[in-house]
């Protein structure tokens, strides 16, 4: 099974992708996580991405498309995967369609998590607080200023994908304001249908 989780920053894509991947034996592919790992490791991609990510902007399409096409080619992805944070632009979506087509496969579903904008800032500030309380370092982009840029990027670049996948008959929408476990149950229910 090949799925995409779509939604604004803070919608809960990462949280849901992680538990769904475990329940279904799928691989979670988060471009945000991969880029953060590249920043931490100080690779060339990481050096290019660091300042863009910190400000809340989008990393260039060719960079993330390259990362995903390499990752999808690895054997553990043969069983299926959940994309979380990719695609984020129409160009990335078209590249993904082409990539899957070249492997003779297709996307099964695109699940949109719908969350009120007002809730997003609270969730992101809460995530930063919890990370600090646990003795960790919060994400460089989990603050009010970067969130504004991330939200703008979402509305400008990513939200057109809702129409793109609706037109493909793949879009399913879920209420991301529900408690985490309930969102998970709703995802399971729609995948079972």
Q: Which residues bind ligand ADP (CB under 6 A)?
A: 9-10, 31-32, 35, 52-53, 56-59, 64, 85-86, 88, 92, 141, 150
Asked if 129 is an active-site residue, the reply is: no
Asked if 142 and 127 touch (Cβ cutoff 8 Å), the reply is yes
CA distances to 76, 85, 123, 167, 170 from 10, in Å: 27, 11, 6, 25, 22
Q: Tell me which of 24, 114, 139, 170 is the catalytic residue.
A: 139
| Shortest Å, Cβ 161 to ligand ADP | 11
Residue indicated by tokens 């369609």: 97
| Contact residues for 178 (Cβ-Cβ < 8 A; gap 6+) | 186
Q: Tell me which of 24, 91, 123, 127 is the catalytic residue.
A: 127
Cα distance between the two ends of the chain: 14
| Shortest Å, Cβ 57 to ligand ADP | 6
| Shortest Å, Cβ 35 to ligand ADP | 5
Q: Is the CB of 92 or the CB of 186 nearer to ligand ADP? A: 92
Asked if 24 is an active-site residue, the reply is: no
* Calpha distance 90→180 (Å, rounded): 28
DSSP summary character for residue 156: I
Q: Is the CB of 112 or the CB of 141 nearer to ligand ADP? A: 141
3-state helix, strand, coil in the chain (%, to 5): 60, 10, 25
Asked if 88 is an active-site residue, the reply is: yes
Q: Is the CB of 59 or the CB of 187 nearer to ligand ADP? A: 59
| Shortest Å, Cβ 10 to ligand ADP | 6
Q: Is the CB of 37 or the CB of 189 nearer to ligand ADP? A: 37
């Amino acid at each position: 099974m090949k799925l995409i989780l779509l939604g604004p920053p803070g919608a809960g894509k990462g949280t849901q992708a992680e538990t769904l991947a475990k329940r279904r034996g799928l691989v979670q592919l988060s471009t945000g996580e991969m880029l953060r790992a590249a920043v931490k490791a100080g690779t060339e991609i990481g050096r290019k991405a660091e300042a863009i990510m910190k400000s809340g902007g989008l990393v260039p399409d060719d960079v993330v498309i390259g990362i995903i096409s390499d990752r999808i080619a690895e054997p553990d992805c043969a069983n299926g995967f959940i994309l979380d944070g990719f695609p984020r632009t129409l160009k990335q979506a078209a590249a993904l369609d082409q990539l899957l087509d070249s492997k003779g496969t297709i996307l099964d579903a695109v699940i949109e998590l719908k969350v009120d904008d007002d809730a997003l800032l609270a969730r992101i500030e809460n995530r930063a607080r919890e990370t600090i309380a646990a003795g960790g370092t919060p994400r460089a982009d989990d603050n009010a200023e970067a969130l504004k840029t991330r939200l703008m990027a979402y509305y400008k670049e990513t939200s057109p994908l809702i129409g793109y996948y609706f037109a493909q008959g793949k879009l399913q929408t879920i209420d991301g304001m529900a408690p985490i476990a309930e969102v998970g149950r709703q995802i399971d229910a729609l995948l079972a249908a």
